Structure 1
Amino acid sequence: MDDLPLPPAPAFPGLLEAALYCPDLDAAEAFYGGILGLERITRVADRHVFYRVGHTVLLLFNPARTREGGSNPEIPVPPHGAEGPGHLCLAADAQSLAAWVERLEAAGVPLEADFHWPGGARSIYFRDPAMNSLEIAEPRLWFDAG
């Protein structure tokens, strides 16, 4: 494939959706909707629950169900799933990040790490009920603050 001439790659304007796998969707919904306060878009029984995060959609799937593949032939999504904890990083400015530390502590969610990267951006790490590693970081971690 490396030897084939390819047309230019069009730019992506952003990330449309990201997925994590959570076997207990009730616990995931209590965490993501309750503690993190995300806006729920939809839930399908024990298969998935979707949340809006800015201009991105967070898809939380029960891996046992998504490995089966879809049952609707008009929406032929291939089977998918993952083993072990995933990772997701949410963006927050410095003031909001401090408020998140306070909220997570009040909810009894332990922080695994709270530090500043060499460039100065702060990150905090914690786990969801499925043990996915979640991070909240200042956007300047990856993007110029100016």
Structure 2
Amino acid sequence: MRALETCLYVDDLGRAETFYSEVLGLTLFGKAAGRHLFYRLEGSMLLIFDPVASSQPGDVPAHAGKPGGHACLSIGREETDTWQARLEGHGLKVTRYAWGNRGESLYFEDPAGNVLELAPASIWGLE
């Protein structure tokens, strides 16, 4: 079993779309104005929801959270320096953490305050 989707909540979908599309370079898969953004990753989906809209009843059960969640996106070990430079080039504060010989994580926040992490799967002993 693996995670199929991860959901984060934001207070401004327009800012989120700019951040996830331009800063992280993700390709938008679909969106509903004022409600959500869907990004297809390698083998999973990243969902970005407006908590007010997603808490309303609809075709799927209502669900909502608050900005301030966490998601880790996988990168290759050799990409850590490049990603750090890219993120800092966009004015983001990046915290780098070493997991012994398993690799390093880059932590930073999206515009809504969600804590994002970029790390190789090797930090969990996965390849």
TM range (shorter): over 0.9
Aligned-residue RMSD, C-alpha: 1.3
Structure 1 equivalent of residue 9 of structure 2:
21
What do the CA deviations read for 1:78-136 (whole angstroms, capped 9, x no partner)? 1101134000001111221211101101111111x202113432011000001000001
* Structure 1: gaps spanning 5 or more residues: 1-11, 71-75
| Contact 2:16–2:110 (CA under 8 A) maintained in structure 1 | yes
Calculate the TM-score normalised by the size of structure 2.
Answer: 0.93
Q: Which has the higher contact order (CA 8 A, sep 6+)?
A: 2
Are 1:68 and 2:56 an aligned pair? yes
* Letter of the structure 1 residue corresponding to residue 50 of structure 2: N
The ranges of structure 1 where at least 4 consecutive aligned residues each deviate by more than 6 angstroms after the TM superposition are none
Moved more, 122-131 or 95-104: 95-104
Paired residue secondary structure (1:78): coil
Which one has the bigger helix percentage?
A: 2
Mapped to 1, the partners of 2:8 and 2:66 lie a distance apart of: 10
Are 1:132 and 2:120 an aligned pair? no
Mapped to 2, the partners of 1:103 and 1:84 lie a distance apart of: 23
* Letter of the structure 1 residue corresponding to residue 28 of structure 2: R
Structure 2 equivalent of residue 90 of structure 1:
73
Calculate the TM-score normalised by the size of structure 1.
Answer: 0.82
